[in-house]
Amino acid sequence: MASSALSRTTSLHRHFNPANPSSKGEKIVKISGEVSEALSRGEAVVALESTIISHGMPYPQNLETAKEVEEIVRQNGAIPATIAILDGVPCIGLSAEELEKLAILGRKARKTARRDIAHVVATRGNGATTVSATMFFASMVGIPIFVTGGIGGVHRHGESTLDISSDLTELGRTPVTVVSAGVKSILDISRTLEYLETQGVCVAAYKTDEFPAFFTATSGCKAPSRVDSPEDCARLIDSNMNLKLGTGILIAVPIPNEHSASGNIIESAIQKALNEAREQNVSGSAETPFLLARVNELTGGASLASNIALVKNNARIGAQIAVSLARLRE
Ligand code: PSU
Ligand code: MN
């Protein structure tokens, strides 16, 4: 235990040294007391993103879901660390007031991927971090596991638009494990898997051979690896850390059967939303939020209910993995 606490502190300080602040002497990031204590003791911590709160769901469901997800992480023995940039300060672990502020800001908060971080901080803005930016901060402070709903990927027609989410390159360069329900079929799933292979990312499906497609458990694409328990995941993460591979891991958890949306209804809504995006020239970072909102409207809220259910399921499994990893590294 003592040696693991020591090694965690050492690795924390290698990435982020609170004694080495910015040029003006300010702290570079703010870590909540609870999260910082858990990290220094080598206890289980789960990072959570904030774009899902600001751009992924409407108010007030976004706030309710964010609170419930944090509660599920706690019930399963880990400490939640929601990450966002507030008034220019990257915050690791939000208070109830900060979480509410972000949920109410909604789309007024800036969707912040890795490329946007420096600008949001420099302009003292409010930034909701995507998977890429959340991974960056989680890694900086030494949180190995991060739970979300779905990650970005290669967009349909990405081979000509080059619209490939920076989530995929982040997975290739940052050793954080992301627990998600796969990728939505608003994206090109098989090209997303090809790109993750190019980036050297280990992709493992949870208790299934198939890579899941967010709203549905199947995608028609085989997952490159399979894991069957939180302990399997913890051993995988531990090996990745010991080998210092430096790359992330994607654990793809299928949506529970009872919540999976009808594939046909979702698929026709996605087709319609994609056509509208093209007609209205919606592209770049605006495309994913546009599609998510339209699919939700077109399915009369059915997709939002599935979305909430799968995020909660991921939170439960992610916390179990974090607990198992903390035990393994004691
Ligand atoms: N997919 C979802 N819900 C989301 C996102 C993706 O099902 O909320 C968000 C995540 O924050 C993800 C980001 O990191 O969108 C990807 O955006 P882009 O496609 O612009 O890279
Ligand atoms: Mn993009």
Which residues form the pocket of ligand 1, taking CB atoms under 6 Å from any ligand atom? 49, 51-52, 56, 113, 130-131, 149-152, 165-167, 184, 214, 285, 288, 292
The pLDDT of residue 251 is above 50: yes
* DSSP-assigned beta bridge partners for residue 202: 249
Q: What is the pLDDT of residue 5?
A: 41
Question: Distance, CA 152 to ligand 1 centroid (Å)?
Answer: 5
**Contact status, residue 181 vs residue 145, Cβ threshold 8 Å:** no
Best substitution site from 53, 55, 129, 130 to test ligand 1's pocket, by max atoms within 8 Å of Cβ? 130
| Band (265; pLDDT cuts 50, 70, 90) | confident
Which residue, 112, 122, 120, 194, is CA-closest to 153? 194
Query: Cα separation of 133 and 91, whole Å?
Result: 12
* Alpha-carbon distance values, 102 to 28, 241, 313 (Å): 20, 33, 23
Please compute the mean of the pLDDT values over residues 294-319 and round it to a whole number: 93
Q: What is the pLDDT of residue 20?
A: 56
DSSP 249-313: EEEEPPPPGGGPPPHHHHHHHHHHHHHHHHHTT--GGGHHHHHHHHHHHHTTTHHHHHHHHHHHH
Query: Cα separation of 38 and 40, whole Å?
Result: 6
- 276: annotated active-site residue: no
Question: Distance, CA 165 to ligand 1 centroid (Å)?
Answer: 8
Q: What is the pLDDT of residue 26?
A: 72
Question: Distance, CA 41 to ligand 1 centroid (Å)?
Answer: 32
The pLDDT of residue 315 is above 60: yes
- For tokens 């799968």, name the residue: 310
Output the residue whose Cα is nearest ligand 1's atom 7.
Answer: 150
- 184: annotated active-site residue: yes
Tokens, residue 240? 């990745």
Q: Among 14-18, 37-41, 305-309, which stretch is predicted with the lowest mean pLDDT?
A: 14-18
User: Which has more confidence, 261 or 77?
Assistant: 77
Which residue, 252, 46, 56, is CA-closest to 146? 46
| Band (212; pLDDT cuts 50, 70, 90) | very high
**Contact status, residue 324 vs residue 230, Cβ threshold 8 Å:** yes
The pLDDT of residue 2 is above 70: no
